[in-house]
Amino acid sequence: MHQILSDFFDFFKLTAFDQLTWQMLVMWGVAILLLYLAVRKGFEPLLLVPIAFGALLANLPTHGVITREFQANGMLDSAILYVDTQTVPSAAVETPAPATPPGESAPVRSRIDRIEGGLYDFIAQGIKLELFPPLIFLGVGALTDFGPLIANPRTLLLGAAAQAGVLITFIGANLLGFTSRQAASIGIIGGADGPTAIFTATKLAPELLGAIAVAAYTYMALVPLIQPPIMRLLTSEKERRIRMKSLRTVSRTEKLFFAILVTVVCVLLVPDASALIAMLMLGNFLRECGVTERLLKSAQNEIINVVTIFLGTSVGLTMAGESFLRPQTLMIIGLGVVAFGAGTAGGVLMAKLMNLFSRGNPLNPLIGSAGVSAVPMAARVSHVEGQRADSSNYLLMHAMGPNVAGVIGTAVIAGYYISTLGR
Amino acid sequence: MHALLLPLAVSLPDNPNLWDNLRFQTTGILVVFFALGSLALVVALSGRLFVALEKRQAAAKAVPSPDLRAAPPGEGVPPEISAVIAAAVAVALAGRPFAVRRVHLVQASEQLRAWSVEGRRQIYASHKVR
């Protein structure tokens, strides 16, 4: 009996209870809050659920899920590791090699380049190697109809103006003490484009990836709450009632030409955004060409769904309590609101400015706010606000123009930041 | 590839002053406007070209739409379809006198048109005809 009890208590030495920290417990609360927002409130559930679950896993002493990191004392814990090594010349090693005693062979000096861990060590390579965001863009392109944008190309300028939120937030983050690379990653939240925010943060500030992704996706879900007050503040009742001319029908050939054009122009201008732009337009080409139905269905469904699960959980796994529970995270969440608000204002004010030069064919300024991407949520907000002023005014398809232009605009500004700050 | 190795005039230190930051952001917004503005210009010009080409092709293929008055018995819209259309109009006009003068087919294959058709349907469904 004594032996059984002893074995029983010995077993508890193998459990992970003693590895819990207060940060982990707080992060359980954060994960549950995110799950609540996603499940009960419907805030971007497709992404927040995997992110929140990943955050929960990141704050449990898991084995075989993520890469084992070195502990503070420089030791590794007891996970089984597969170690890739590369033999390097002694000169490349910082510490000098000890003299070899006569008669003994020279020791092999190795540098550990990579320590492989469990399941998510491999899956998270999709973020580290910047594979997931472009793959998500493949699906986004396959799901997006650029017809309204092609029919009314001046709405591209609204998508450009809405990037004001990115720039203003960049400056604000810099003033709050973030480095330029971190500030650029935080600013991209204002683009309201999750994959681009993750892509930029991975390149420029991987240490902030979790907080940036959570802020980006949470605020995208809050677009219907954040945007309307700003839209109403900046427009008059008369402006909100403006009816726009019907959009012409765009031919398939024109849509195919557009996909090629955007790819060539954007890649030439900002090669650092090539992966995003190229995959977005490849997905759109598959959609419009009409002869790749099987590939289109995969891009629209299986690929984007599988990658979304992996992307979300990988991002969540970066939210370890030690790195997430810092004042910086609160600042990022605060700056996210500024970013969305300024982007909304930029688009609306640009539409009003354009109306000064096109009185015969005015834009309803409410569609300017859709330039912050968040497809199609922001376009829906423009439509609903327009209907509040005039219930028979249908702005949805007009707002889809700046909405998809915002996706391109955010990719361009991300490419600008990566090319100037990323090396 | 060689361009990546050139020293960049547009860059920013980790902790820039406000003036440098404003200059950097101004360049950024100019890049975005240049990219999207040039796209808008090319799309607008090519759009005109595509529309002109389509008009020319449509004119070449123009087929007169079926006209109820002109259609001899047994051709054009079948009588049972005419009856259904007339019944739908009678319901929509709530018993007011009317005459169906012409019926022509609307191509609803394009998604844009589907949106406008849905919008029109909602408008019509939202109130009674006087």
Where are the strands (E) in A106-194, listed by range?
A: 110-116
pLDDT of residue A387: 92
Smallest CA–CA separation between B61 and chain A, in Å?
A: 16
- pLDDT value of residue B5: 42
Residue A82 bridge partners (DSSP)? A116
Chain B contact probe: residue of A157, A395, A418 with most B CBs at under 10 A: A157
Greater confidence, A262 or A111?
A: A262
With the C-alpha atoms ordered A201, A207, A211, A214, is the resulting torsion angle positive or negative?
A: positive
Complete DSSP assignment for A363-413: PPGGGGGGGG--TTHHHHHHHHHHHHH-TT---HHHHHHHHHHHHHHHHHH
List Cβ neighbours of A206 (8 Å cut-off, separation of 6 or more).
A128, A318
ipTM above 0.90, yes or no: no
Q: How far away is chain B from the Cα of A171, in angstroms, using its nearest Cα?
A: 7
Which helix (H) or strand (E) is A184 found in, with range?
helix A180-187
Which residue has 């952001």 as its token pair?
A: B25
Note whether B12 contacts A269, CB cutoff 8 Å: no
Q: In chain B, what percentage of residues exceed pLDDT 90?
A: 25
Enter the pTM of the model: 0.75
Chain B residues 91-120 within an 8 A CB cutoff of chain A: 110-113, 115-116, 119
Q: What pLDDT, in 10s, does the model give residues A22-57?
A: 999 999 999 999 999 999 988 888 888 999 999 999
* Residues of A whose CB is below 8 A from B27: 416
**pLDDT reported for residue A79:** 45
Asked if the model's pLDDT at residue B64 lies above 50, the reply is yes
Report the pLDDT value the prediction gives residue A136, as an integer from 0 to 100: 94
Overall average pLDDT of the A336-347 stretch: 94
CB A157 within 8 A of CB B33: yes
Given a cut of 80, whether residue A332 has pLDDT beyond it is yes
For A2-61, the DSSP string reads HHHHHHHHHHHTTSSGGG--HHHHHHHHHHHHHHHHHHTS-SSHHHHHHHHHHHHHHTS-
Give the model confidence (pLDDT) of A195-250 as tens digits. Answer: 999 999 999 999 999 899 988 888 888 898 899 999 999 999 999 999 998 888 89
Higher pLDDT, A265 or B8: A265
Which pLDDT score, from 0 to 100, does residue A63 have? 74
Chain B residue with minimal CA distance to A187? B25
In chain B, what residues touch A157 (CB-CB under 8 Å)?
33, 36-37, 40
Helix (H) or strand (E) holding A84: strand A82-87
pLDDT of residue A16: 80
Q: What is the pLDDT of residue A334?
A: 92
Among A312-316, A341-345, B104-108, which range has the highest average pLDDT? A341-345
Please give the mean pLDDT across all residues of chain A: 87
